[in-house]
Amino acid sequence: MSGMKSAHIKFETAPDKVAKRITKMRPSAVRLLFAAATRPDIISLAGGMPDVSLLPKSAVRKAARAAVDDQAVTLQYGGTNGLFETAQVFCDIVRDIGIRHKPENVIITTGAQEALDLIAKTFCDPGDIVLTEGPTYLGALQAFSAYEPEIRTIEFDDEGMRMDLLEEELQRIGKGNPRLKFLYTIPNFQNPGGVTMSPERRKRLVELSHEYDFIIVEDDPYGRLRYEGGHCLPMRAFDDSVIYLGTISKMFAAGLRVGWIMAPPGVTAKINLAKQGTDLSGSVFDQKMAAAYFRDTPWQNTLQKFVKTYDKRRRAMLAAMEEFFPPEVKWTHPEGGFFVWVTLPSYVDAKSMLAEALDNGVIYAPGDSFYPDGKRGRNSMRLNFSYESPENIREAIRRLAEVIEGRLELYRAFINAGAIKE
């Protein structure tokens, strides 16, 4: 009995058994914020959720019925690469954005999130180098960091990742360095930056990937949600060595966990091996629903509804920022997607300001969460416009502006007194 007890105590104190890679993983302030987001007095600009209330019930029912009616398939184990019919549908829907891919070389994943994990699992040994935009998608940082690569970030401007800074970094890394594995980018309406990589930079990036021998991982969850400007070709459309990631989360349903990887056949085979150990196969039921939705319902009309609605919300946010934010505050101008990236003067800490914002009835995602070291981006924040109504967004920005103004007033006083430098 006493032996059992001590075994139990040992289990309770298991932190000393936990793998080093887990102890290095930081809890995400952004995920913790989801709890505050449910309070009725708070308007949340912190999340990144699609507004699924815009989906027509008839289309959802039709897709669900297709999955129920095929229960011998959909309630059974599936192949690791996924349902062929779903892969076919995904190949069809990417054709009109310029990508030609064979369904037998698609891997269907449990959301794009699993794709990020599988890619790092397939390519990264501890100490390998991965390049990303800085800031970048928090979930990618979480997925990659479990495999302990060194994540180096490249800043972006209004035209996406800066190729001059990338070239400098590549020169430091050196040509043919085996530690350099892949560069992860979100070229359309980047999360969290909201910026889009220009066609010239996409071309240059592909050239550099050949010159310095690294893989490009192109993550494109928001590409179809464009509210202004013309479509930019994905890099996968003009270079077969690019790994392209897609998802149904923002075009259809984030609750159905379905994404895909389109990669060269040799890479697909290796990722398939990695996926076998993770989950054998993704949800066949979800995959069947996804196939039915994109094949048998007027999904383009619904997509237009998403585009119109999100565009109104984006305009409400940009207009309110013009109206309420003090002149010291700068922000990006997204042509699509879900997010605006806001930069405050360097002396304002957006993370510590969050408590005041919460008191004032608004929350946002503090910028440091989107950097691998959690140290940079302290004076920045990501604001989401996809979920709240235009009225709520305006009110949220007004409340946020009050909080920022309060901070700036304090700092202006310090600066005037010579206590801190501008």
Ligand X SMILES: Cc1ncc(COP(=O)(O)O)c(C=O)c1O
Q: How far is the CB of 408 from ligand X (least distance, A)?
A: 30
Nearest to 339 by CA among 309, 354, 318: 318
Among 48, 82, 103, 194, indicate the residue that binds ligand X (CB under 6 A): 48
Q: How far is the CB of 186 from ligand X (least distance, A)?
A: 5
State which residue has the least CB distance to ligand X.
111
Three-class SS string for 296-341? HCCHHHHHHHHHHHHHHHHHHHHHHHHHHCCCCCEECCCCECCEEE
Q: Do the strands 380-384 and 365-366 form a parallel or antiparallel pair, or are they unpaired?
A: antiparallel
What is the spatial distance between Cα 272 and Cα 109, in angstroms, rounded to a whole number? 10
103 binds ligand X (CB under 6 A): no
135 binds ligand X (CB under 6 A): no
Reported as half-sphere exposure (CB side, CA atoms, 13 A), residue 232 has a value of 27
Residue 89 three-state SS: helix
Can you read off the two tokens belonging to residue 415?
């600066």
Question: 27, 261 in Cβ contact below 8 A?
Answer: no
Nearest to 75 by CA among 281, 245, 341, 346: 281
Q: How far is the CB of 389 from ligand X (least distance, A)?
A: 21
Residue 155 three-state SS: coil
What is the spatial distance between Cα 64 and Cα 307, in angstroms, rounded to a whole number? 24
Among 47, 134, 234, 259, indicate the residue that binds ligand X (CB under 6 A): 259
The contact pattern for ligand X, residues 64-83, with x = CB under 6 A and - = no contact, is --------------------
Among 132, 191, 196, 332, indicate the residue that binds ligand X (CB under 6 A): 191
Site for ligand X in 194-233 (CB under 6 A): 219, 221
Closest to ligand X by CB, 70 or 220? 220
CB burial string 55-92: b at 16+ within 10 A, e below: beeebbeebbebbeebeeebeeebebbbbbbbbebbbe
DSSP H helices, 189-264, are 199-212, 235-238
186 binds ligand X (CB under 6 A): yes
Site for ligand X in 226-255 (CB under 6 A): 247, 249, 254
Q: How far is the CB of 34 from ligand X (least distance, A)?
A: 13
111 binds ligand X (CB under 6 A): yes
Nearest to 252 by CA among 383, 102, 62: 62
Closest to ligand X by CB, 362 or 365? 365
Q: How far is the CB of 260 from ligand X (least distance, A)?
A: 9
Nearest to 339 by CA among 367, 302, 361: 367
Closest to ligand X by CB, 48 or 372? 48
What number of chain residues touch ligand X (CB under 6 A)? 14
CA 169 to chain centre: 23
137 binds ligand X (CB under 6 A): yes
Question: Which range, of 27-35, 106-114, 227-235, 270-278, touches ligand X by CB under 6 A?
Answer: 106-114
Among 80, 113, 185, 268, indicate the residue that binds ligand X (CB under 6 A): 113
Q: How far is the CB of 44 from ligand X (least distance, A)?
A: 15
Closest to ligand X by CB, 111 or 366? 111
112 binds ligand X (CB under 6 A): yes
- Report the largest interatomic distance among the alpha carbons of the chain, rounded to a whole angstrom: 75
Site for ligand X in 292-331 (CB under 6 A): none
Closest to ligand X by CB, 252 or 411? 252
Q: How far is the CB of 409 from ligand X (least distance, A)?
A: 35
Residue 160 three-state SS: strand
283 binds ligand X (CB under 6 A): no
User: Would you tell me which residues interact with ligand X (CB under 6 A)?
Assistant: 48, 111-113, 137, 139, 186, 191, 219, 221, 247, 249, 254, 259
